Amino acid sequence: MHKISEPLATRHSQILGVGDYRPSRIVPNLEIVDLIDSSDEWIRERSGIESRRYASADESVVDMSVAAGQKALTAAGITAAQLSAVIVATVTYPFQTPSAATDVTLRLGNPNAAAFDISAACAGFCYGVGMASDMVRTHSAEYVLLIGVEKLSDFTDPTDRGTAFIFADGAGAIVIGPSDRPKIAPMIWGSDATAREAIVMQPSWLELRNPDGLANSGNIGWPDIKMQGQTVFRWAVYQMAPIGLKAIEAAGITVDQLDVFIPHQANIRIIDAMAKAMKLPEGITIARDVRVSGNTSAASIPLAMAALYDSGEVKSGQLALLIGFGAGLVYAAQVVELP
């Protein structure tokens, strides 16, 4: 019997460049409040959100991905032709197949890279970091473009008081490639699937095709996100801090050695509560991009990372804890060295 030959020894991986794309249309709270009987003050106090961006009708998930991806490639000093794989994390690409990633790699000018999408909601980007890192480490890929992108304005009911002010649009991207030393620590990931009904996008396409057999009451016009806000809030605040601490431990560092915290940008109160629960050191840089970007699900961590570079708050070589969590309920976290 033949045996598969010894695989190449695993190597290390790193993030090589970051890119973002923010739609030009800024939507302040005052533009949202009338339809949900709310106020600028209430939204700021409960979520920290001051404004968000909405893509225009002709601006697609793929358009935003390509723009962010090109910026990340330039920052990494890599051409699209050098990519072995393109991964798109999203829950708002409006086609089940073929994937958004195939269109992205085609439009970037590399129609032969491996390409697929990840459906892990607000944890999708961190899932992707772990997967891309392992692909590079085990020689399944040389360079991987990972994009987190959402056009949540297409799937949010503007009259839903629990979601209309939260969700928004944008794209962020990174390139992951080989490294001479470890710069992406192991991913801590998992789910709490018993709570999978806490955030849903309903109704299903089958129900839309056959409204007579509708399982869900209410909306039969279009799939929108529905959320049990308090359930999600409590889960994030109490369950995610221990996951962040496990990721720090997996990186072989202590909390005091962390420079930057870039959590999923769900809500400023969740971010602050997690930082407190993990006892992050004074003076650590904490991403609070949610204030001007809203919650962009899979895009929120790379968008927040790019914003920290733009504001000069982070520099190359710093250690950042990333943590994504959301619909599923699913989560993933890892420590990375910033490029």
Strand partners, 141: none
Long-range contacts of residues 134-138, Cβ cutoff 8 Å, at least 24 apart: 134/13, 135/84, 135/85, 136/11, 136/13, 136/176, 136/177, 136/178, 137/10, 137/11, 137/12, 137/13, 138/7, 138/8, 138/10
264 is catalytic: yes
Q: Is 293 in the site for ligand COA (CB under 6 A)?
A: no
- As measured in angstroms, the least distance from the Cβ of 195 to ligand COA is 12
Q: Which helix (H) or strand (E) holds 174?
A: strand 169-179
295 is catalytic: yes
Whether the Cβ atoms of residue 329 and residue 199 lie closer than 8 Å to each other: yes
Q: Is 158 in the site for ligand COA (CB under 6 A)?
A: no
Residue 152 to residues 68, 81, 92, 140, 283, Cα–Cα distance (Å): 17, 30, 6, 32, 33
Helix (H, G, I), strand (E, B) or coil at 3: coil
Kindly write out the interface string for residues 233-252 of this chain, putting x where it contacts ligand COA by CB under 6 A and - elsewhere: x-------------------
126 is catalytic: no
Helix (H, G, I), strand (E, B) or coil at 323: strand
- As measured in angstroms, the least distance from the Cβ of 165 to ligand COA is 6
Residue 321 to residues 154, 158, 189, 190, 335, Cα–Cα distance (Å): 30, 33, 13, 17, 4
Kindly write out the interface string for residues 18-47 of this chain, putting x where it contacts ligand COA by CB under 6 A and - elsewhere: ------------------x-x---x---xx
Nearest residue (CB) to ligand COA, 105 versus 265: 265
Binding window for ligand COA (CB under 6 A); candidates: 9-17, 178-186, 264-272, 303-311: 264-272
Of the listed 29, 110, 122, 126, which one is catalytic? 122
Kindly write out the interface string for residues 175-214 of this chain, putting x where it contacts ligand COA by CB under 6 A and - elsewhere: ----------------------------------------
Q: Is 332 in the site for ligand COA (CB under 6 A)?
A: no
Residues marked active site are found at 122, 264, 295
Note the residues at the interface with ligand COA (CB under 6 A): 36, 38, 42, 46-47, 122, 161-162, 165-166, 227, 229-230, 232-233, 266-267, 270, 295, 326
